[in-house]
């Protein structure tokens, strides 16, 4: 936690220093070492320690670019505390452009891990011991799965007042109160006493400029609010809204899909979300919204099997039209015409 001396991978980093570290995690069959890249920025004064992690799923690359831009950003001048930036947690997955570890395990279901467990469990254990255990706060960067896109959103335990305030400060229009998943980094971090936000935006194996810019700006906003960066928070251009819950709308038949809406669209109960056709172009069925809400995720590939997820809708108690307007404001700010 807060300390004048920080040690990662046997390397001591003092206040006022910044450095890169190659943290050994395992070897390939070829006897080639696999190292987790880590970049540490320490202010001259003591303060909180915050980690920012990306690519726990190796095909989720937006976070890699977000961390890279943070490292190169002139706006990230840490005056107090410590920022630990980890662009690739699942280095194996990035090498193979795969969500999973070589043992086919999902690393984000293997925390807190074990020093004597599976390969995924050992990597999870190293990350917990070397990084998370030393941090009061964390931001974990994710994207949608393969062929799925997510609207920029924060998922967190919003019942915790401090976590909720950090989520508000991040600065995206949609906040999702999300339960902890067994074996996830978020669950293990919370059990460690680390407050954590999960940022979801974009899709696997693709860069999305809106998602990247929102992520860079959001991380810096959180660091400002925690006192690590000595700047005033920018004036908020919109109010984030908390989704009470959300659900995926699934295909009732297999076929070829034509969707009617894009991410961020407001939909009303009964609106047509998609049409499923056969190879002859005949419409087999229409998929409609079960409730009013905002589209925060969608499948991109126009082929679907019965039961597959098509559209992810977040449900609010507030005015959906206001939320949709705020999403447009965010897009105009980050990607101006």
Query: Is residue 2 predicted with pLDDT exceeding 80?
Result: no
113 HSE (CA, 13 A, CB side): 25
The residue to which tokens 């991410």 are assigned: 263
- % of the chain at pLDDT higher than 90: 89
Query: Is residue 169 predicted with pLDDT exceeding 80?
Result: yes
pLDDT band for position 61 (cuts 50, 70, 90): very high
Tens-place pLDDT, residues 176-193: 998 899 999 999 999 999
Closest CA to 144 of 302, 12, 263: 263
pLDDT at residue 236 in the model: 86
Rg of the chain over all Cα atoms, to the nearest angstrom: 21
Strand partners, 35: 24
- % of the chain at pLDDT higher than 70: 99
Query: Which residues have a Cβ under 8 Å from the Cβ of 165 and sit 6 or more positions away?
Result: 225
Strands 137-142 and 266-267, how do they pair? unpaired
Domain range annotation of the chain: 5-225, 244-334
Do the first three CATH levels of 5-225 and 244-334 match, i.e. the same topology?
no
Pick the CATH number of 244-334 from 1.10.3720.10, 3.40.50.300, 2.40.50.140, 2.40.50.100: 2.40.50.100
Pick the CATH number of 5-225 from 3.40.630.10, 3.20.20.80, 1.20.1090.10, 3.40.50.2300: 3.40.630.10
Query: Is residue 329 predicted with pLDDT exceeding 80?
Result: yes
């Amino acid at each position: 936690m807060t300390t004048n001396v920080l040690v990662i991978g046997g390397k001591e980093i003092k206040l006022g220093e910044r450095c890169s570290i190659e943290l050994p995690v395992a070897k390939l069959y070829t006897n080639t070492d696999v190292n987790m890249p880590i970049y540490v920025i320490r202010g001259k004064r003591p303060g909180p320690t915050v980690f920012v992690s990306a690519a726990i799923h190796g095909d989720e690359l937006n976070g890699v670019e977000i961390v890279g831009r943070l490292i190169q950003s002139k706006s990230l001048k840490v005056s107090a505390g410590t920022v630990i930036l980890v662009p690739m947690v699942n280095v194996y997955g990035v090498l193979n452009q795969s969500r999973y570890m070589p043992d086919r395990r999902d690393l984000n279901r293997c925390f807190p891990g074990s020093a004597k467990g599976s390969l995924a469990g050992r990597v999870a254990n190293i990350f917990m011991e070397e990084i998370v255990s030393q941090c009061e706060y964390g931001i974990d960067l994710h994207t949608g799965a393969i062929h799925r896109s997510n609207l920029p959103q924060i998922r967190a335990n919003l019942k915790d007042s401090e976590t909720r305030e950090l989520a508000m400060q991040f600065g995206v229009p949609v906040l999702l109160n999300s339960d902890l998943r067994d074996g996830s980094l978020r669950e293990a971090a919370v059990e460690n006493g680390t407050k954590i936000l999960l940022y979801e935006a974009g899709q696997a194996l693709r860069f999305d400029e809106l998602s990247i810019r929102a992520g860079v700006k959001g991380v810096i906003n959180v660091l400002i609010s925690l006192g690590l960066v000595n700047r005033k928070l920018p004036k908020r251009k919109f109010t984030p809204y908390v989704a009470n819950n959300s659900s995926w709308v699934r295909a009732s038949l297999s076929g070829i899909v034509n969707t009617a809406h894009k991410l961020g669209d407001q939909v009303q109960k009964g609106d047509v979300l998609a049409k499923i056709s056969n190879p002859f172009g005949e419409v087999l069925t229409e998929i409609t919204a079960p409730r009013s809400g905002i589209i925060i995720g969608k499948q991109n590939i126009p082929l679907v099997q019965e039961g597959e997820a098509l559209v992810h809708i977040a449900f609010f108690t507030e005015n959906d039209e206001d939320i949709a307007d705020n999403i447009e404001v965010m897009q105009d700010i980050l990607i101006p015409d």
